[in-house]
Structure 1
Amino acid sequence: MNRDSLLRCFEDNPVILGMTSWDEFPLVKENESEIVFTLFGTVSNICQIVQDLKKAGKIVFVNVDMVDGLASKNSVVDFIKQSMADGIVSSKPHLLRYARENGLFTIHRFFILDSTSWRSIGKQLEISKADIINITPGWTKVISWTAELYDTPIISSGLVCDKTTAIDNLKAGAISICTTNHDVWKL
């Protein structure tokens, strides 16, 4: 799937399923959302997780920072690409740039703790050239500021744990939200 098609999928799927354990697979499989972020796994099972989700018809992104046993090296991108994942999520700009150069869709995760971390987005995006910005936590004001300043699409995640927060984030400029809350998955 090309970048434009994937961007349309995010717009068409405002709720991204944040999967934190294999026990959630039946819920993920049943859910109408097409996009899943895997937020767990190990070097020994992440390929199987991706393949099972793909067989269930899902578009799969691996948060490589959360997979036990993976280092922040380019070889991780090569490994994940072989798993048939559609893309990666990471807070590591150099890893994202390598992934994008090698045909994976990239989502740059930013942990916004204060105004200094928010102001660093531009410099890091220059390095990563990511397809999407992922702002966490999903504070509506920060989503709004980011949407005003950058043309790169935004996903909100982290503490987006109720319907009101999800809707507010979408109104503020996020194209999608990612949540691990099963109640929000039903939106």
Structure 2
Amino acid sequence: MIIQNILPVISDWKTFEAFLKGSYTWCILMDFHMNFMEDLVKQLHEHNKKGIVHMDLIHGIANDQYGTQYMCQKVHADGIISTKPKAIEAAKSNQCISILRIFMIDSRSFMRSVHMASALQPDYIEVLPALLPGIVKKLHAYCDIPVIGGGMIENQEDIAKCLSGGMQAVSTSHRGLWESVEK
């Protein structure tokens, strides 16, 4: 279970090194090449930290059940984020935390996402964009899965809105923001 309100999104080595020195336990890894993933996750674990790999945004590996299986079994990722049902199923069957990423663009995408989440039963749903009034309440009317907000988070007020709206956590690549909240 993820127990922190901010999930730093790491996509470069400099930010990764800063994360290792900070107090957050969990992070999301994306935009790295597959060849670096084993070393990244190993370093996280050596620092008593955990990494969630965004399978749709890792270069050099398929975001399907086989790529996910490799990421869980060989790389030892602690969790997987994906928009792909097969990746979520593979994460679950390999005892990795599973996060289904969904994009809310209209009522049709909402219902399609609800049906997918209900069928897959991921550990978490990541909703993009995060700042959708009442989205957690609407989602929980259909499925009781914890929600993470992602995308378009610009300041501490946005984080507060998401958390007060029922989101368990907020993911952000805005390093200055997650570092300011960390202090």
TM over 0.5: yes
Q: Are the structure 2 counterparts of residues 149 and 164 from structure 1 closer, same or farther at C-alpha, using a change threshold of 3 Å?
A: farther
Q: Tell me the equivalent position of 2:53.
A: 62
Q: Tell me the equivalent position of 1:3.
A: none
Amino acid at match of 2:64: K
Q: Tell me the equivalent position of 2:173.
A: 180
CA drift at 1:43: 1.8
Alignment partner of 1:153 is 2:146: yes
Kept in 2: contact 1:94–1:128 (CA 8 A):
no
| Residues 59-89 of structure 1: CA deviation (Å, up to 9, x unaligned) | 1100010001111332212211121111100
Q: Secondary structure at the match of 2:158?
A: helix
Q: Tell me the equivalent position of 2:128.
A: 136
Distance in 2 (alpha carbons) for counterparts of 1:166 and 1:184: 10
Distance in 2 (alpha carbons) for counterparts of 1:160 and 1:151: 24
Alignment partner of 1:27 is 2:18: yes
What are the within-5 Å matches in structure 2 for residues 1-187 of structure 1?
6=1, 10=2, 12-81=3-72, 82-141=74-133, 142-185=135-178, 186-187=180-181
In structure 1, runs of 5+ residues without a counterpart are 1-5
Kept in 1: contact 2:27–2:50 (CA 8 A):
yes
| Residues 69-121 of structure 1: CA deviation (Å, up to 9, x unaligned) | 11133221221112111110000012201220221110000011222111212
| Residues 150-179 of structure 1: CA deviation (Å, up to 9, x unaligned) | 310000011112100101000111001010
- The range that moved more, 91-100 or 138-147, is 138-147
Count, aligned residues: 178
CA drift at 1:143: 3.7
Amino acid at match of 1:106: S
Distance in 1 (alpha carbons) for counterparts of 2:132 and 2:10: 23
In structure 2, runs of 5+ residues without a counterpart are none
CA drift at 1:148: 4.6
Amino acid at match of 1:111: F
Aligned alpha-carbon RMSD (Å): 1.5
CA drift at 1:57: 1.8
Kept in 2: contact 1:18–1:37 (CA 8 A):
yes
Q: Sequence identity of aligned pairs in percent?
A: 20
